[in-house]
Structure 1
Amino acid sequence: MINRLRLYLPQHKQVNRLPCNNGNLKTARLILMADTKDKAKAKSAKAKVQAEPKFSKETYMWWFESMKLMRRFEEKSGQLYGQQKIKGFCHLYIGQEACAAGAASALEKGDKWITAYRDHAHPLALGTSPDAIMAELFAKATGCSKGKGGSMHIFDKEVGFMGGHGIVGAQVPLGAGIAFAEKYNKTGKVCICYMGDGAVRQGAFHEALNMAMTWKLPVIFVIENNGYAMGTSVKRTSNVVELYTLGESYDIPSEPVDAMEVESVHEAVARAAERARAGEGPTLLEFRTYRYKGHSMSDPAKYRTKEELEDYKGRDSIESVKATILKNGWATEEELDEIDDKIKQRVADSVKFAEESPYPDPKELYTDIYVEGDYPFIMD
Structure 2
Amino acid sequence: MANIDTQKRDSKVQNTLGNIKEDKNTILELYEDMLLGRNFEDMCAQMYYRGKMFGFVHLYNGQEAVSTGVIKCLKSYDYVCSTYRDHVHALSKGVSANEVMAELFGKETGCSRGRGGSMHIFSAKHNFLGGFAFIGEGIPVATGAAFQSIYRQQVLMDSKELPVTVSFFGDGTTNNGQFYECLNMAVLWKLPIIFVVENNQWAIGMAHHRSTSSPEIYKKGTAFGLPGIAVDGMDVLAVRKVTQEAVARARKGEGPTLIEALTYRFRGHSLADPDELRSKQEKEAWINRDPIKKLRSYILNNNIADEELLNQINTKVKNVIDTSIDFALSSPEPKVEDLYKYIFAD
Task: Specify the TM-score bucket, using the shorter chain as the normaliser.
Answer: over 0.9
Counterpart-to-counterpart distance in 2, 1:193 and 1:335: 34
Please tell me whether the aligned partners of residues 107 and 269 of structure 1 are also in contact (alpha carbons under 8 angstroms). Answer: no
Please tell me whether the aligned partners of residues 33 and 242 of structure 1 are also in contact (alpha carbons under 8 angstroms). Answer: no
Counterpart-to-counterpart distance in 2, 1:75 and 1:265: 23
Counterpart-to-counterpart distance in 1, 2:108 and 2:183: 37
Matched, 1:140 2:107: yes
SS at match of 1:185: helix
Aligned match for 1:169, one of 130, 133, 136? 136
In the alignment, which residue of structure 2 is the partner of 1:26? none
Please tell me whether the aligned partners of residues 12 and 230 of structure 2 are also in contact (alpha carbons under 8 angstroms). Answer: no
Runs of 4+ in 1 over 6 A off after TM superposition: 38-41
Please tell me whether the aligned partners of residues 179 and 217 of structure 1 are also in contact (alpha carbons under 8 angstroms). Answer: yes
Q: Aligned pair in 2 of structure 1 residues 98, 132: CA closer, same or farther (>3 Å)? A: same
Aligned match for 2:172, one of 198, 216, 238? 198
In the alignment, which residue of structure 1 is the partner of 2:228? 254
In the alignment, which residue of structure 2 is the partner of 1:360? 334
In the alignment, which residue of structure 1 is the partner of 2:321? 347
Task: Return the index of the structure with the highest Cα Rg.
Answer: 1
Matched, 1:263 2:237: yes
The residue type equivalent to 2:9 in the other structure is T
Counterpart-to-counterpart distance in 1, 2:208 and 2:94: 33
In the alignment, which residue of structure 1 is the partner of 2:258? 284
Matched, 1:35 2:8: yes
Please tell me whether the aligned partners of residues 168 and 198 of structure 2 are also in contact (alpha carbons under 8 angstroms). Answer: yes
In the alignment, which residue of structure 1 is the partner of 2:54? 87
Please tell me whether the aligned partners of residues 70 and 124 of structure 1 are also in contact (alpha carbons under 8 angstroms). Answer: yes
Matched, 1:329 2:303: yes
Ranges in structure 1 where 5+ consecutive residues have no aligned partner = 1-29, 373-380
Deviation of 1:337 after TM superposition, in Å, equals 1.5
TM-score (structure 2 length as normaliser): 0.93
Aligned match for 1:238, one of 192, 201, 212? 212
TM-score (structure 1 length as normaliser): 0.85
**1:195-253 per-position Cα deviation (integer Å, ceiling 9, x unaligned):** 11111122111111111111111110111110000011011111111111111111111
**1:244-294 per-position Cα deviation (integer Å, ceiling 9, x unaligned):** 111111111111111100011111111111111111111111111100001
Deviation of 1:54 after TM superposition, in Å, equals 2.4
Aligned match for 2:72, one of 80, 92, 105? 105
Counterpart-to-counterpart distance in 1, 2:132 and 2:252: 29
Counterpart-to-counterpart distance in 2, 1:275 and 1:163: 25
RMSD: 1.9
Q: Aligned pair in 2 of structure 1 residues 325, 300: CA closer, same or farther (>3 Å)? A: same
The residue type equivalent to 1:357 in the other structure is S
Counterpart-to-counterpart distance in 2, 1:193 and 1:135: 25
The residue type equivalent to 2:105 in the other structure is F
